């Protein structure tokens, strides 16, 4: 008798489980409550606008990482990955712009300019990121496996 798996939900997780299941010789069936697959990774049109909440950044995807390999296995990696300078940018009502640079020196400089009073906490934040500043930062799976946690003490004394 062939081995089979029933998967609930056709989001990226469910569809990946289906593909890996089949690669490993299982028959797979995916049950999805919505009319189309994709889960959070989808888009829709309304009144002439396209709403696109799907993935905009592929994290931890550098060539050679296990996440990169996973996207290849799934046949879901775009033909070309574009390396960008910043993760996101947020403008405050008074016109100040926070740019979440991947370059830690630039990120620190931006944050210090926006809030010099938080210099101690900004330093702790940057140091905490640097603790992951090796292959683990490019490989989300390894981050989970290494089980590293960081406590950042904020100015108000709250631990996060
Ligand atoms: C605005 C936004 C931006 C994002 N940006 C990024 C990004 O830049 N980079 C990144 O890596 N990630 C991003 N993400 C996260 C990423 O999209 C999700 O982590 C990923 O799509 C989740 O996939 P999933 O399969 O775990 O869950 P989901 O996509 O939530 O899929 C679950 C599926 O299960 C179905 N379901 C639920 N209950 C049942 C049931 N009882 N029976 C049948 N079907 C059921 C649902 O309809 C859904 O289709 C973003 C998410 C959002 C919302």
pLDDT for the residue 49: 94
143 in contact with ligand 1, CB cutoff 6 A: no
Please return the burial class of 107, using the count of CB atoms within 10 Å of its CB with bins 0-12, 13-18 and 19+: buried
Q: Is the CB of 14 under 6 A from ligand 1?
A: yes
Give strand pairing partners of 31.
Answer: 8
pLDDT of residue 154: 39
Task: Please give the pLDDT value at position 134.
Answer: 56
Tell which phi-psi region holds residue 100, choosing left (phi > 0), alpha (psi between -120 and 50) or beta.
beta
**pLDDT tens for each residue of the chain, 160 residues long:** 689 999 999 999 999 999 999 999 999 999 999 998 999 988 889 999 998 887 777 777 777 888 888 888 888 876 677 778 888 899 999 999 999 998 999 999 999 999 999 999 999 999 888 887 654 444 333 333 333 444 433 344 433 3
* pLDDT given for residue 126 in this prediction: 92
Burial-class residue 138 by CB neighbours within 10 Å (0-12, 13-18, 19+).
Answer: buried
Report if pTM > 0.75: no
For the chain, helix (H) and strand (E) counts, in that order, are 5, 6
Coil, strand, or helix at residue 150? Answer: coil
- Residue 147 is predicted with a pLDDT of 38
- Report CA(154)–ligand 1 centroid distance (Å): 31
Query: Are the C-beta atoms of residues 138 and 157 closer than 8 Å to each other?
Result: no
């Amino acid at each position: 008798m062939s081995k089979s798996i029933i998967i609930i939900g056709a989001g990226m997780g469910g569809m990946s489980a289906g593909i890996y299941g089949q690669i490993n010789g299982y028959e797979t069936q995916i049950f999805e409550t919505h009319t189309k697959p994709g889960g959070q990774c989808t888009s829709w049109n309304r009144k002439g606008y396209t709403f696109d909440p799907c993935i905009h950044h592929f994290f931890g995807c550098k060539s050679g990482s296990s996440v990169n390999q996973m996207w290849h296995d799934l046949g879901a990696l775009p033909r070309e990955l574009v390396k960008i300078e910043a993760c996101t940018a947020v403008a405050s009502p008074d016109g100040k712009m926070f740019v979440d640079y991947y370059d830690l020196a630039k990120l620190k400089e931006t944050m210090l300019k926006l809030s010099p009073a938080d210099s101690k906490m900004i330093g702790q934040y940057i140091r905490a990121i640097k603790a992951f500043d090796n292959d683990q930062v490019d490989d989300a799976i390894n981050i989970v496996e290494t089980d590293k946690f960081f406590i950042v003490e904020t100015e108000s004394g709250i631990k996060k």
